[in-house]
Structure 1
Amino acid sequence: MKKDKKMFIFIEAVLGTMVLFLAFLMLREKNVDKSYQISVIVENADDTQWSAFKYGLKMAAEDKGAEMVMVSTGASLSQEEEKKLIEEEIKNGADGVIVQPVSGEDTQQMLKKVGNKAEIMLVDDILSGIEKFPVIQPDAYAIGKTLVEELLKDYGGNLEGKTLGILNGKEGLKSSAEKEKGFIEALQGTGAEIVWSDTQITENMPDVDFVIALDDNSLRAAGEMAAANNLHGAIVYGIGNSTQSVYYLDMGIAECLVIPDTFNVGYQSLTELVNKLEKAFYEYENQEISYTVMRKENMFSKENQEVIFTMSQ
């Protein structure tokens, strides 16, 4: 009788172990098959500068079997508005949020707080730095430096006596500061002089030989001014990632564009975020995001046509 009781206990233990094992397998399978919801919050989300980025997000969502929600936002976001949007998305079931952070004193603290409720991925960071969160973005310093290299190519390596105005519309973001730093440091020793640097361009700006636009909004603003003959002959070089920027290049209003691969920023951001959600101990991979130098004469190369295609989606 004692022997039968031991056997019964042994069988019970084996069955209990099997039940736990099956439950573990079912839970694991459920997690693998789960369709994660990823929300994306960037400033002025409906603007065409985000077209390639959104296309990259869409392609990654299809490849990873995730649901992607692009949150509609206005032309500018305050820190409080962004915080409210992130919290609303998490409340509505977002497992992860891709964010373009709004610069402010409490940005890092705010992101840390919401980061306890959902995975956070950044597509830019603020000047104070946000070490806790992964950021996927092109090498801003290298892009700024490339603009000087293109200028030097066009003028035989000599910019002696040339004057420049720098237009940089994004304050408080690390990428904006890095682009400007890369440009200014590469310009040293070339003989060129920076006459003005501002976030907006007006007809009252002092005349210069070149206007250097360090983001897509700035490029479009400079292009619009040049098209109306309000730049007094200044030649536009800059950074752009919208079809409007390419239009100004095609029309000869802009001389040269450096185009960050924002398609890949979107694709890799969502892919990495879902990878992290799928595997708790996943280590984010460093992503090298490329950029393209485009001029009117090479617009119709195969590579550049692919770049333009992503912008038009």
Structure 2
Amino acid sequence: MKNDKKTFILIEAVLAVLILVLAIVMISEKRQDDRYKISVVVPNSDDRQWSAFKYGLRMAAADNNIEMSVASTAETLTAQEEERLLRDEIENGADALILYPVPGEETEEMLQEIGKKVPIMLVGSALTDGEDTVFPVTEPDHYTMGKALGEELIKDYEGKLDGKTLGILSETTDSAAVISREMGFRAALADSNVRIRWAVGHPFTEGGESFLGVQPAVDIIAALDDSSLTAAGECAASDSLHGARIYGIGNSTEAAYYLDTGVVECLLVADEFNLGYQSLNEIAKELDDYLYHMQSIEVYHTIIRKEELFSEENQEILFTMSQ
């Protein structure tokens, strides 16, 4: 009788283990078939300046078994257009969002509302210039990048910038990233006696190069983002900048091309691959663990000169740009 009871208990234990194993397998299979979905929204998403960024996203998505998609967007986005895109992505099943925010107070209000539904990670720029940001952001240190650009300029002129004229160029003047870059750049040049003749922002879509061509002639142009740098490079290549020397921040193959051909004197490149990889990796942690709170992440930048462009240490940067 005792043996029968022991056998019965043993069978029940074995069955319980089998049921547990089956449940784990079923949950695992369901997770593989029903992966988390992350949608990415950046302006002008087909532009080659996002190549390294999207490559990083793809690698992180593969490592985390996540379904990732980049929304097709126009060259410029308004806050209303960005809101509509984000809501459409959520309606289509997005579990989280990665986005480059359109500047403005209405964007912050809109994201606070959407953030109640899904986790949000900002990339490339915070909503405000400073540490007090509502949402986590993956970005380079923009102030340091701007300052480094100014220091490279001073180095080339051996500090002798008296009487030289300068133009500062960006595709917008109201994003936190550009504001911080310009602050750093101006801080580096504060004691240089260079004369800043103009500082303009313009979305370099069709006709952007002609906008730049009618600006007052200067000796030096500092381009604070990829779009303005490539626009300046195109103008300089067609002799429309009156011989101005170009220094800039960029992350596309076009930017590297203008450096290689000598049109651009110095190029600063943010680690766009890690911008994509770390932003998705961080948001994946929160999706996997509801107790985890996403952190802001800072990515590095590299200063590249023509003679260093194809060096071994820069091969990886060029590779990710071309993906």
TM-score, structure 1 normalization: 0.88
* Post-superposition offset of 1:207: 1.6
How far off is 1:99 after superposition?
0.9
The residue that corresponds to 1:232 in the other structure is 242
1:273 counterpart = 2:274:
no
Pairing 1:208–2:218 present: yes
1:128 to 1:226, Cα distance in 2 relative to 1, 3 A: closer
Q: Describe the SS at the equivalent of 2:137.
A: coil
C-alpha distance in 2, partners of 1:126/1:134? Answer: 10
User: Which of 138, 141, 144 lines up with 1:142 in the alignment?
Assistant: 144
Q: Which residue is 2:183 aligned to? A: 181
Q: Which amino acid aligns with 2:142?
A: A
State the one-letter code of the partner of 2:35.
S
The answer to whether the Cα contact below 8 Å between 1:163 and 1:193 also exists between their aligned partners in 2 is yes
1:63-116, Cα deviation, whole Å (9 max, x unpaired): 111111010001111111111111111111111110111123311111111111
**Superposed displacement of residue 191, structure 1:** 1.7
- Partners of 1:233 and 1:217 in 2: CA distance: 20
Query: Displacement of 1:117 after TM fit?
Result: 1.3
Matched, 1:283 2:283: no
Partner of 2:49: 49
- Name the structure 2 match of 1:295: 305
Aligned twin of 1:93? 93
1:36 corresponds in structure 2 to 36
Counterpart CA distance in 2 for 1:272 and 1:211 is: 37
SS at match of 1:106: helix
Question: Which residue does the alignment assign to 2:196?
Answer: 194
Distance 2:306 2:255 in 1: 12
Separation (CA, whole Å) in 2 of partners of 1:195 and 1:154: 20
Give the direction of change, closer, same or farther, for the CA distance of 1:30–1:111 in structure 2 (3 Å limit). Answer: farther
Structure 1 residue 293: Cα displacement: 0.7
Number of residues of Structure 1 aligned to a counterpart in Structure 2: 297
Where does structure 2 lack aligned partners over 5 or more consecutive residues?
1-12, 203-210
Q: TM-score normalised to the size of structure 2?
A: 0.86
Aligned to 1:304: 314
Cα contact 1:55–1:310 (8 A) shared by 2: yes
Give the counterpart letter for 1:72 in structure 2. Answer: S
Cα pair 2:78 2:102 within 8 Å, conserved: yes
Larger deviation: 141-150 or 104-113? 104-113
1:58 maps to 58
What amino acid is aligned across from residue 220 of structure 2 in structure 1? F
Q: Residues of 1 paired with 2:138 and 2:322: CA distance?
A: 22
Amino acid at match of 2:278: Q
Give distance in 2, aligned partners of 1:113 and 1:173.
21
Provide structure 1 residue ranges, at least 5 long, that are not aligned to the other structure: 1-14
Identity of aligned residues (%): 49
Q: Which amino acid aligns with 1:233?
A: G
In the alignment, what sits opposite 1:5?
Answer: none
Contact kept? 1:31, 1:278, Cα under 8 Å? no
Name the residue aligned to 2:170.
168
Compared CA separation, residues 118 and 181, structure 1 to 2 (3 A): same
Aligned to 2:260: 250
Q: Cα gap change, 1:286/1:101 in structure 2, threshold over 3 Å: closer, same or farther?
A: closer
1:67 equivalent in structure 2 = 67
Matched with 2:206 is none
Taking structure 1 as reference, are residues 46 and 111 closer, same or farther at Cα in structure 2, changes over 3 Å only? same
Q: Is the 8 A contact 1:61 1:270 kept in 2?
A: yes
Give the root-mean-square deviation of aligned CA atoms. Answer: 2.4
